């Protein structure tokens, strides 16, 4: 697969161009510098070519993030077939632009100079000065108005090698790491990938946008999504939007790692657990910094977890430490196991054999001598496994009995750790004029 990186000073429109090229709004965009810090990857398709496009943070920003952003940008340029050097030429070239150009020359990658924010032909005279950078003819574009993108891609294609063979279309497992700020999501991502892909700092809110990282473990492809920390009350508008992006990342994921701090549990963990619960995705509770809990407090910490996360008690737990790599492989192994279960389908005949057994194990709800009758059960969907149970009266189904059926499905059908959805369908003389009810978990 080809790789193309986008670089440039802060606030020249790199993320806007990134979003425009991949065809959706994946990178956070704002009218002030410093929004993008990590290097963000997405796959774009152009004339049957699959290209990994990388958006990087603003170079030579002059703030406390300058060195680490440059380090991530250098990583992004490793193996890149071409580099898109984005500039805003309307105010002329700055000293920082020349420094970025010198840095790119030292790295030795093919560079295409892009003059962004050229909204009409009358702005094209601004391009003349860009020849001085020494990378040949600049390309005039407007990322905001989708102007000049075909010319840009034609220039990029000149630097891409011929495709070699077919690219596997097997979809990877997408896993989102969610948690409140500073619980160690980015550190865990780096520990898993054995790299420094995500910026790690003691400052809450360091991660400003979701960061997708492709990874291979035991022959299984993953896309690991490091999301912005979710606070109770965002401090800024950009942080609020980053949280919305995190929630969107959860919706696109196959599984969720709910990352908690072992020595600092609060009410906010309950909100995050609800967010994971409502997504309908398999959840693995990752208790990070477990090495910091004294031995004499381990049982107390586990009991506190049981109390705060009782409504997702079905979710497996992994105890980890990003510092010493403790539990890292367990996170991936548990994810692979849950993903297979999430996609599984149970034969109808087996379901109905178990349905008879479950009714004998636990008395069905009875209202005034009229009991709930369950006639038939079948699986109607996977991911998550969803089952329809045909009965005489859907309104006779109590919450406790529904919980019993869900637990029996997990325990007896080898679906431990998986969210299970039930749909109650009425059948028989009471069906007329009544609506089926659905219960989600």
The CATH H-level superfamily of 2-157 is P-loop containing nucleotide triphosphate hydrolases (3.40.50.300)
Quickly count: other Cβ atoms within 10 Å of residue 98's Cβ: 14
According to the annotation, is 117 in a ligand binding site?
A: yes
According to the annotation, is 56 in a ligand binding site?
A: yes
According to the annotation, is 116 in a ligand binding site?
A: yes
Name the least confident of 75-84, 247-256, 289-298, 332-341: 247-256
Beta-bridge mates of residue 43: 52
Q: Does domain 173-342 fall into CATH 3.40.50.720?
A: no
Q: CA end-to-end span of the chain, whole Å? A: 39
Domain with CATH 3.40.50.300 in the chain: 2-157, 173-342
According to the annotation, is 227 in a ligand binding site?
A: yes
* Amino acid 33: pLDDT: 41
Pick from 420, 186, 405: nearest CA to 283: 420
According to the annotation, is 369 in a ligand binding site?
A: no
The DSSP symbol for 348 reads H
According to the annotation, is 327 in a ligand binding site?
A: no
* Amino acid 394: pLDDT: 95
Domain with CATH 3.30.300.20 in the chain: 348-439
According to the annotation, is 190 in a ligand binding site?
A: no
Q: What are residue 78's phi and psi, to 5 degrees?
A: -65, 120
Judged against a pLDDT cut of 70, whether residue 235 lies above it is answered with no
According to the annotation, is 427 in a ligand binding site?
A: no
Pick from 237, 221, 177, 227: nearest CA to 206: 227
According to the annotation, is 13 in a ligand binding site?
A: yes
According to the annotation, is 121 in a ligand binding site?
A: no
Give this prediction's pTM.
0.65
Q: What confidence tens digit (pLDDT) does each residue in 62-89 have?
A: 666 677 778 878 887 888 999 999 999 8
Asked whether 337 and 396 are in contact (CB, 8 A), the reply is: no
Judged against a pLDDT cut of 90, whether residue 221 lies above it is answered with no
Rg (CA), the chain: 26
Higher pLDDT, 61 or 437: 61
According to the annotation, is 435 in a ligand binding site?
A: no
Q: What confidence tens digit (pLDDT) does each residue in 287-314 have?
A: 999 999 999 999 999 998 998 888 889 9
According to the annotation, is 274 in a ligand binding site?
A: no
Quickly count: other Cβ atoms within 10 Å of residue 120's Cβ: 10
Judged against a pLDDT cut of 80, whether residue 387 lies above it is answered with yes
According to the annotation, is 15 in a ligand binding site?
A: yes
* Amino acid 433: pLDDT: 53
Asked whether 29 and 58 are in contact (CB, 8 A), the reply is: no
Pick the CATH number of 348-439 from 3.30.300.20, 3.50.50.60, 2.130.10.10, 3.40.1390.10: 3.30.300.20
Most confident of 37-41, 159-163, 357-361: 357-361
According to the annotation, is 180 in a ligand binding site?
A: yes
According to the annotation, is 266 in a ligand binding site?
A: no
According to the annotation, is 163 in a ligand binding site?
A: no
According to the annotation, is 12 in a ligand binding site?
A: yes
Residues near 186 by beta carbon (within 8 Å), at least 6 away in sequence: 198, 199, 200, 206, 207, 211, 226
* Amino acid 236: pLDDT: 54
Asked whether 164 and 213 are in contact (CB, 8 A), the reply is: no
According to the annotation, is 52 in a ligand binding site?
A: no
According to the annotation, is 43 in a ligand binding site?
A: no
Judged against a pLDDT cut of 50, whether residue 167 lies above it is answered with no
Judged against a pLDDT cut of 60, whether residue 112 lies above it is answered with yes
Beta-bridge mates of residue 177: 226, 257
Unique residue bearing structure tokens 């680490």? 68
According to the annotation, is 209 in a ligand binding site?
A: no
According to the annotation, is 119 in a ligand binding site?
A: yes
Cis status of the peptide bond prior to 384, with omega within 30 of 0: yes
């Amino acid at each position: 697969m080809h790789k193309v990186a986008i670089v440039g000073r802060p606030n020249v429109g790199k993320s806007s161009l990134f979003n425009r090229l991949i065809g959706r709004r994946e990178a956070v965009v704002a009218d002030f510098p410093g929004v993008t810090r990590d290097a963000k990857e997405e796959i774009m398709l152009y004339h049957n070519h699959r290209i990994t496009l990388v958006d990087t943070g603003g170079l030579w920003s002059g703030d406390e993030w300058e060195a680490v952003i440059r380090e991530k940008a250098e990583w992004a340029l490793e193996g890149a077939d071409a580099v898109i050097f984005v500039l805003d030429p309307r105010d002329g070239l700055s000293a920082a632009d020349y420094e970025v150009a010198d840095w790119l020359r030292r790295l030795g990658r093919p560079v295409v100079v892009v003059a962004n924010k050229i909204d009409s032909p009358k702005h094209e005279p601004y391009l003349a000065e860009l020849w001085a950078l020494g990378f040949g003819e600049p390309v005039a574009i407007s990322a905001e108005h989708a102007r000049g993108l075909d010319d840009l891609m034609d220039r990029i294609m000149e630097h891409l090698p011929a495709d070699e063979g077919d690219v596997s279309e097997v979809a990877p497992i997408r896993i989102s790491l969610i948690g409140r700020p500073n619980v160690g999501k980015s550190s865990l991502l780096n520990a898993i990938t054995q790299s420094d892909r995500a910026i790690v700092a003691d400052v809450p809110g360091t991660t400003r946008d979701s960061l997708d990282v492709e990874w291979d473990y035991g022959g299984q492809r993953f896309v690991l999504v490091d999301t912005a920390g979710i606070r109770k009350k965002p401090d800024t508008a950009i942080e609020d939007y980053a949280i919305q992006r995190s929630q969107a990342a959860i919706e696109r994921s196959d599984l969720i790692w709910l990352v908690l701090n072992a020595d600092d549990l609060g009410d906010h963990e309950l909100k995050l657990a609800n967010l994971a619960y409502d997504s309908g995705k398999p959840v693995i509770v990752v208790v990070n910094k477990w090495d910091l809990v004294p031995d004499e407090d381990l049982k107390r910490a586990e009991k506190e977890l049981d109390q705060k996360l009782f409504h997702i008690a079905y979710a497996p737990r992994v105890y980890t430490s990003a510092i010493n790599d403790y539990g890292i492989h367990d996170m991936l192994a548990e994810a692979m196991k849950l993903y297979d279960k999430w996609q599984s389908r149970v034969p109808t005949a087996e379901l109905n054999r178990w349905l008879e057994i479950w009714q004998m194990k636990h008395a069905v709800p009875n209202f005034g001598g009229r009991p709930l009758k369950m006639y038939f059960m079948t699986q109607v969907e996977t991911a998550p496994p969803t089952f329809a149970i045909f009965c005489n009266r859907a309104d006779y189904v109590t919450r406790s009995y529904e919980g019993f059926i869900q637990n029996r499905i997990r325990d007896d059908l080898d679906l431990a750790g998986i969210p299970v959805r039930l749909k109650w369908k009425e059948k028989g003389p009471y069906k007329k004029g009544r609506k089926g009810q659905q219960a989600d978990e």
